[in-house]
């Protein structure tokens, strides 16, 4: 009979680890995801260290460790949103004009949704008064506008049209952003299909008919 208090045999098996070391990139992703979730729910007022750490299930010290400050995490969250956007506008799809993909992606259900648009609206509002975030915005917006201008230029060449691609890109982006703001303010006032159609109408006024998916 085993003595009282004796440890059970494990037949040479290694004990299960008590924790998993999370890579730095994964931990930063967790914090940025949590930050974006807090922005979607509560705007800039909800962007607090306590809320973010509770959302991510981590200690307060991790924010300072990885980002130095709450402002550093906010800039990283902004960069994260733009990285997703830039990945989409720079991609190509066989047989589909890139400007068509850009418009379709802008009004996809997962992007033209109140939570995602609320994040953008909050970040834009903060960038207007935050120099560091404004610099982050400028850096990413310049690349975004260049990508949209390149897509418009490609289609203009294919259609034998001459356009001011930079000016048209700025106008198209402003229309997409403005429709997003309207959707956040009053979702019933702007239907996703109507917003999409408005952007096609603008592009086609300069480029001629575009092959719209689904007609």
Hey, CA dihedral for 56, 61, 65, 67, is it positive or negative?
positive
Rounded-to-10 torsion of CA 71, 74, 76, 82: -140
Ordered DSSP codes for 40-100: HHHGGGG--HHHHHHHHT--THHHHHHHSSHHHHHHHHHHHHHHHHHHHHT--BTTB-HHH
Query: What pLDDT score does 2 carry?
Result: 41
CB atoms within 10 A of CB 190: 19
Q: Consecutive 10-residue runs of the chain (215 residues): their mean pLDDT?
A: 45 51 81 95 94 91 88 93 92 92 93 91 92 90 96 97 97 95 86 93 97 79
Ordered DSSP codes for 104-134: HHHTSTTTSSHHHHHHHHHHHHHHTT-HHHH
């Amino acid at each position: 009979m085993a003595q009282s208090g004796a440890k059970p045999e494990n037949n040479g098996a290694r004990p299960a680890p008590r924790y998993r070391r999370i890579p730095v990139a994964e931990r930063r992703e967790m914090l940025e995801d949590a930050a974006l979730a807090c922005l979607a729910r509560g705007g800039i007022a909800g962007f607090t260290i306590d809320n973010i750490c509770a959302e991510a299930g981590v200690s307060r010290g991790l924010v300072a460790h990885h980002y130095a400050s709450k402002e550093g995490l906010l800039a990283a969250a902004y960069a994260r949103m733009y990285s997703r956007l830039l990945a989409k506008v720079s991609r190509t799809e066989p047989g589909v004009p890139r400007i068509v993909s850009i418009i379709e992606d802008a009004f996809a259900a997962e992007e033209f949704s109140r939570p995602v648009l609320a994040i953008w609206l909050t970040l834009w509002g903060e960038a207007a008064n935050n120099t560091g975030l404004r610099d982050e915005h400028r850096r990413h917006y310049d690349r975004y506008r260049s990508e949209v201008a390149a897509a418009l230029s490609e289609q203009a060449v294919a259609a034998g049209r001459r356009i001011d691609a930079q000016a048209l890109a700025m106008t198209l982006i402003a229309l997409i952003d403005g429709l997003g703001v309207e959707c956040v303010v009053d979702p019933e006032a702007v239907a996703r299909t109507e917003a999409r159609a408005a952007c096609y109408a603008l592009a086609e006024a300069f480029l001629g008919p575009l092959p719209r998916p689904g007609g």
